[in-house]
Chain A
Amino acid sequence: MAAMAITKAITVGKIRPAAEPLHVLGNHGAYEVFPETEEEIAAVLQAAHAHSLSVIPMGGGTKRGWGGTLEKADILLCLSSCRGIVEYSPGDMTVTVKAGTTIREIAEQLAVHGQMLPLDPFWPDAATIGGVVAANDSGPKRLRYGSARDHVIGLRVVYPDGRVIRTGGKVVKNVAGYDMSKLFIGSMGTLGVMSEITLKLRPVPPCQSLLLLAFPNADFPAIRSFVLAVLDSTMEPVSLELLSPALHQAMNGRDGYALAIALEDGEKAVRYQEEWLIAHAPPGTEIRSWRQEEAAHWWSRFYRMFPSGVSPADRQAAEMALKIGSRNLDVLELVKTCHDLGERHGLAVEGHGGLGHGISRVYVKGDPARFAAYLQEVRTAAEERGGYAVVQHASLAVRRQLDVWGRPPAGFSLMQGVKRAIDPRQVCSPNRFVGGI
């Protein structure tokens, strides 16, 4: 029945029954469908809508372990063939790309014109712009550059019934009608399938540097007052990311907490800030620095620390990642709490968090049976501070035992209303998002 419906919508050559029937992360599909154009995406969704089939969109598959309790939907809509730049106007500093284009590919094309997409999500080699935007993924550099909601200026979305709806536009400033793009950013594929994304760009800064300030004796009051001094100064760090001891160890082979401070600006401005930071670092701080390609290399290693749907299967099953949102300064306490709780629960925990932007991430390795209790305590710690903790990566088995998203947020009935208005038949990524949306 499902197969029949799909074959009417798209060439048979672009459909295949799932190669491996099960995937440790779930979020699979009975059929994998590979559309190459927006029309094909629309045709597939139209068919799915008509026959009430479920569809999970997927780009590079890096976020397969994020949310959802389905082992497989009827259709896994693989967008990896919908790739490439649709329109790039360097003079306007905007680009329109197809959803299945990887972050790396976009970066390479833009670099030719000295421009960049100011987003630093994980696994840029594999992650696609569609996936990054749908999951609202971001990295430490959002401190200075912001996150997807600050860069996406327009979308083409294939609605769950196959209609193509444009949101926003192609200009950097636009308040015509509702800011509909925002709804789809971070919607986890529950409101349709983005086919094209238009983004605002920035010039590549002429000079890049990374200062790593390590605090071997974990003097938190000193770290805190240093961070406050930086935030209260006129310095313009691009990241102010706190690394937990295990992550610091894994990245740099040293012990203790550390701060990764990226500086990206003109040469003089970067040097001046380096000097300022070094001069103001608390006594006893170990300072290392990397410049240009070396700094970029450090970051590319960092972006691969995250457990992902493309890492080996055995690793995937034994790992969990959490995303924690809090007020900026609470990151300090929360990263420490996550680290300490890891020790108590006998789990290996690598964590980092952005002081100044409020997002922390924790990678947990060990006995999956202990994950639930660990999550609960981390979540309580975050909620006590007005924040939240969600599971950003876990195997299907683990996810089924956990509350991935925590309790429904304020305004949840409105979110349900939005889902009903756009996807009344629950075609897209059913049950993948908060509160069972």
Chain B
Amino acid sequence: MAAIDPLVRELSQIVGPDAVLYRREDLIAYECDGYTVRKQPPRAVVFPSCTAEVSAVVKHLHERHIPFIPRGAGTGLSGGAIPLGGEVIISLVRMKRLLHVDYENRLAVVEPGFVNLKLTNAVAAKGYYYAPDPSSQYACTIGGNVAENAGGAHCLKYGVTTNHVLGLEVVLADGEIVEIGGVPDTPGYDLLGLLTGSEGTLGIVTKITVRILKNPEGKKTVLAYFDSVEEASRAVSDIVAAGIVPAALEMMDKTAIEGVEAGNYPVGHPKGLEALLLIEVDGISAGIDDQIARIVEVCQNRNVSEVKVAASEEERARWWANRKTAFPAMGAISPDYLVQDGVIPRSRLPEVLEKISRISARSGLRIANVFHAGDGNLHPLILFDARIPGETERAVQVGSEVLKACADAGGSITGEHGVGIEKKEEMRYIFTDEEIAAQIGIRDVFNPQNLLNPDKLFPKPGRCAEMRTAPGEAR
């Protein structure tokens, strides 16, 4: 048995012995997050319980040039919390308090380890909710949501995490604690906006002020079944073109439906469907029925085979549980899956879906499509079996091809899951070397020694290494 890493003792002195993990078996549990294609255990896992401890741990690591990774619930899908070699994981799950709710000013202050759905549960009694609703909201933390700028089914109307974060307390790479935001448009550059979605490379968020919203007065949910993917995707554009801003507009294709029906939350969708749409409209009750009527009409014009409105809250909840657990439900029909997160302009849905199905046919791997159709955010789930030699690599390759197709359609390689380690190389599909260098230039301001979550987000230097920073500028 190897001697205990002296770092463990030092960290224990800061946070206490029960707040550091170092046994091999324990570290193995931290070798990956929701992205399982790559695995590497951390050097240690440390569990600070307050901002001061986070700061002290970071200072200690910074002084010794030891890299570190902040981690929440580890539900991320792009490998943002996976060590690549020798990093210490700073787990924020013990900082999980709801600190303050101010209903008059419609805000809540939480610690980073506070679970997304718990915020809505905490304010529900007074008729409020927290809008960003990633499908992992049962488990994911708001700190992680900020790091990834998480989205969700209802961002179509209400925006993603960045639209709901009002203030942050951040521990910087050297351990300094800064509070930013708090009131709107604070003078100076929008560090709040920059930090949100920076995937743990610019700082560790230790306190978050978010907006809470009043529940809409009315809400209606429609389920529409289609015999053709193309008709379903055209219905999506038609709904938006009709001037309706649905709260959510989700789509699943045949394989995805097979998965959710085999999973733990089946709805009992009819067999043999090619696609379904789950559409939700909310707002002032008066007039919602008109919008629903309009949606039904649009679907009928697109040859919908069946369209129905949720008759009760229970039914609505069942439809949503079915949709929200769609990714992991694929575990029921395939040993492994890789989920992609491309975005395309909504109007190009039919052609890109067609392209994806060609990629699937060519590769021999099944692809299930379940996605936020309303904002063009595709989630192709590439089904594979890691036990078959070479299949993991093939799945990764297919994922990359799908992202290329999205980028070529004028879209993006990630809408809400982040780049992490998964899509670093694919950054080149949408950004030039110069543009990537410009982003690295910003990282260097916050994280000059690249200790904070190193080697994430940006492609390996190579072609990128010699790009000019600025002509004649010494750095």
A residues contacting B by CB (< 8 A) are 49-50, 89-94, 114, 136, 138, 146-147, 149-150, 159, 161, 163, 165-167, 169-183, 185-187, 191, 202-204, 206, 228, 231-236, 265-269, 271-273, 323, 325-329, 356-359, 386-388, 390, 405-406, 408-412, 414-415, 417-418, 420-422, 424, 433-435, 437
**CB-nearest residue of chain A relative to B471?**
A161
Q: Is the CB of A202 within 8 A of B245?
A: yes
Residues from chain B with Cβ under 8 Å of A161 in the complex? 470-471, 473
Q: What are the residues of chain B within 8 A of A177 when measuring CB–CB? A: 419, 427, 431, 436, 439, 457-458
Known contacts A231-B214, A418-B189; 20 further A-B pairs (Cβ under 8 A) = A89-B347, A136-B185, A146-B159, A147-B184, A169-B343, A174-B412, A177-B436, A182-B192, A232-B103, A233-B214, A234-B214, A236-B283, A266-B286, A271-B286, A323-B185, A327-B183, A405-B187, A406-B187, A411-B188, A422-B441
Partner of B184, one of A176, A357, A415, A434: A357
Subset of 11 A-B contacts with CB under 8 Å: A89-B347, A91-B241, A166-B431, A169-B430, A178-B194, A182-B194, A266-B284, A359-B184, A387-B183, A410-B179, A415-B188
Q: Which of B319-327, B372-380, B391-399 lies at the interface? A: B372-380
A-chain residues with CB within 8 Å of residue B235 when the two chains form the complex: none
Of the candidates B183, B375, B436, B443, the one having the most CB atoms from chain A within 10 angstroms of its own CB is: B183
The answer to whether B470 touches A206 (Cβ under 8 A) is no
Chain A residues with Cβ below 8 Å from B163 are: 146, 149-150
- Chain B interface size, as a band, is 35 or more
Residue of B nearest to A387 (CB): B183
Contacts of B470 in A (CB 8 A): 49, 159, 161, 163, 424
Contact A328 B457 (CB under 8 A): no
Question: In the complex, what distance in Å separates the CA atom of A159 from the CA atom of B245?
Answer: 36
**Pair A325/B185 contact, Cβ less than 8 Å:** yes
CA distance A169 to B51 in the complex (A): 35
Q: At the interface, yes or no: B413 with Cβ under 8 Å from chain A?
A: yes
Chain B: minimal CB distance from A127 (Å): 17
Q: Which residues of B contact A414 (CB under 8 A)?
A: 172, 178, 191, 445-446
Cα–Cα, bound, A147→B172 (Å): 28
Contact with A along B167-187 (1 / 0, CB 8 A): 000101000001110111111
Whether A415 and B189, one on each chain, are in contact in the complex, defined by CB atoms closer than 8 angstroms, is yes
Contact present for A92 and B183 (CB under 8 Å): no
Instruction: Say whether B197 contacts A179, CB under 8 Å.
Output: yes
Q: B349-383 CB contact bits vs A (8 Å, 1 = yes)?
A: 00000000000000000000000100111000000
Q: Could you tell me if A173 and B185 are in contact, using CB atoms closer than 8 angstroms?
A: no
What distance in Å separates the Cβ of A38 from its nearest Cβ neighbour in chain B? 15
For A90, the chain B residues whose CB sits under 8 A away are: 241
In whole angstroms, what is the CA distance A353 to B401 when docked? Answer: 50
- Give every chain A residue within 8 A of B417 (Cβ-Cβ): 175
A165 pairs with B185, CB closer than 8 A: no
Closest chain-B Cβ to A404's Cβ sits at a distance in Å of: 9
Does A180 lie within 8 Å of B439, measured CB to CB? Answer: yes
Overall SS of chain B's interface: loop
Q: List residues of chain B with CB within 8 A of the CB of A422.
A: 438, 441
Interface: B408 (CB within 8 A):
no
B345's contact among A92, A232, A409, A434, by CB below 8 Å, is which? Answer: A92
Across chains A and B, the number of contacting residue pairs, with CB separation under 8 Å, is 265
* Contact code string B65-106 (vs A, CB < 8 Å = 1, else 0): 000000000000000000000000000000000000011111
CA distance A187 to B217 in the complex (A): 38
Candidates A114, A388, A418, A424; contact of B187 at CB < 8 Å: A388
User: Digit string of B286-298 for contact with A (CB within 8 Å is 1, else 0)?
Assistant: 1100110000000
Whether the Cβ atoms of B445 and A265 lie closer than 8 Å is no
Asked whether A433 and B217 contact (CB < 8 A) given A150-B159, A171-B345, A177-B439, the answer is no
Which A residues lie within 8 Å of B190 (CB)?
Answer: 149, 182-183, 185-186
Q: If the complex has contacts A89-B345, A185-B190, A421-B442, are A174 and B414 also in contact, measured as CB distance less than 8 A?
A: yes
B344 touches A265 (CB 8 A): no
**Cα of A166 to Cα of B215 in the assembled complex, Å:** 37
In the complex, the answer to whether A173 meets B438 with C-beta atoms within 8 Å is: no
State whether B345 touches A234 (Cβ < 8 A). no
- B149's partner among A50, A175, A183, A388 (CB-CB below 8 A) is A175
Q: Which of B222-256 touch A at CB < 8 Å? A: 237, 240-241, 243-245
Contact A179 B216 (CB under 8 A): no
Q: How many angstroms between the C-alpha atoms of A202 and B155 in the bound complex? A: 14
CA distance A73 to B464 in the complex (A): 35
Within 8 A of A (CB), among B94-123: 102-107
- Report B-chain residues with C-beta under 8 Å of the C-beta of A146: 159, 163
Q: Is the interface of A mostly helix, strand, loop or mixed?
A: loop
Cα of A273 to Cα of B284 in the assembled complex, Å:
8
Given A173-B416, A175-B418, A265-B283, verify A326-B183 contact (CB < 8 Å).
yes
Residue B411 at the chain A interface, CB threshold 8 Å: yes
Most buried by A among B159, B188, B290: B188
The 7 A-B pairs of least Cβ separation, nearest first, read A182-B193, A234-B217, A417-B445, A91-B347, A203-B243, A269-B284, A266-B287
Q: A183-B189, A185-B193 are in contact. Are A173 and B217 (CB under 8 A)?
A: no
| Contact in complex: A410, B180 (CB < 8 Å) | yes
**Do B412 and A169 touch across chains, with their CB atoms under 8 A apart?**
yes
Contact A388 B243 (CB under 8 A): no
Q: Is there contact, CB below 8 Å, between A173 and B372?
A: yes
B170: chain A residues at CB < 8 Å are 411
Residues of A within 8 A of B188 (CB): 408-409, 411-412, 415, 433-435, 437
Min CB gap B290→A, angstroms: 6
Complex contact B415–A175 (CB within 8 A): yes
In the complex, what residues of A have CB within 8 A of residue B57's CB? Answer: none
Q: Quick check: B438 and A359 within 8 Å, CB to CB?
A: no
Contact of A165 among B155, B202, B435, B445 (CB under 8 A): B435
Question: Do A390 and B187 touch across chains, with their CB atoms under 8 A apart?
Answer: yes
* A269-B245 contact given A173-B377, A359-B185, A421-B444, CB 8 Å threshold: no
Q: Measured between alpha carbons, how far is A330 from B185 in the docked complex, in Å? A: 15
B245: A residues at CB distance < 8 A? 202-203
Residues of B within 8 A of A411 (CB): 170, 178, 180, 188, 191
What B residues does A150 contact at CB under 8 A? 159, 163
**CB < 8 Å neighbour of B215 from A167, A186, A234:** A234
B442, A178: Cβ atoms under 8 Å?
yes
Residues of A within 8 A of B286 (CB): 266, 268-269, 271-272
Which B residue sits closest to A234, measured CB to CB? Answer: B217
Cross-chain contact A421 with B441 (CB below 8 angstroms): yes
- In the bound complex, CA of A418 to CA of B192 (Å): 14
- CB contacts (< 8 Å) of B155 on chain A: these are 173
User: B136 at the A/B interface (Cβ < 8 Å)?
Assistant: no
Q: When the two chains form the complex, which single residue of B162, B185, B284, B471 contacts A179, counting CB atoms closer than 8 Å?
A: B162
B17 an interface residue at 8 Å Cβ cutoff? Answer: no
B-side contacts of A50, CB under 8 Å: 471
The one of A171, A187, A326 that contacts B343, using a Cβ cutoff of 8 Å: A171
Whether B148 is near chain A, meaning CB under 8 Å from some CB there, is: yes
Expressed in whole angstroms, the Cα–Cα distance for A133 and B178 within the complex equals 26
Chain B residues with Cβ below 8 Å from A271 are 286
Q: Please give, as numbers and ranges, the residues of chain B lying within 8 Å of A147 by CB-CB distance.
A: 184-185
Closest residue of chain B to A422 (Cβ to Cβ) is: B441
Closest residue of chain A to B411 (Cβ to Cβ) is A171
Residues of chain B contacted by A170 (CB below 8 angstroms): 345, 410-411
Q: For residue B237, which residues in chain A have a CB less than 8 angstroms away from its CB?
A: 91
Query: Contact: A178 with B103, CB < 8 Å?
Result: no
B290-A174 in contact (CB<8A): no
Q: Is A418 a contact of B104 with CB atoms below 8 Å?
A: no
Q: B427 — which chain A residues lie within 8 A by C-beta?
A: 176-177
A114-B243, A183-B190, A359-B184 known; A171-B197 Cβ under 8 A: no
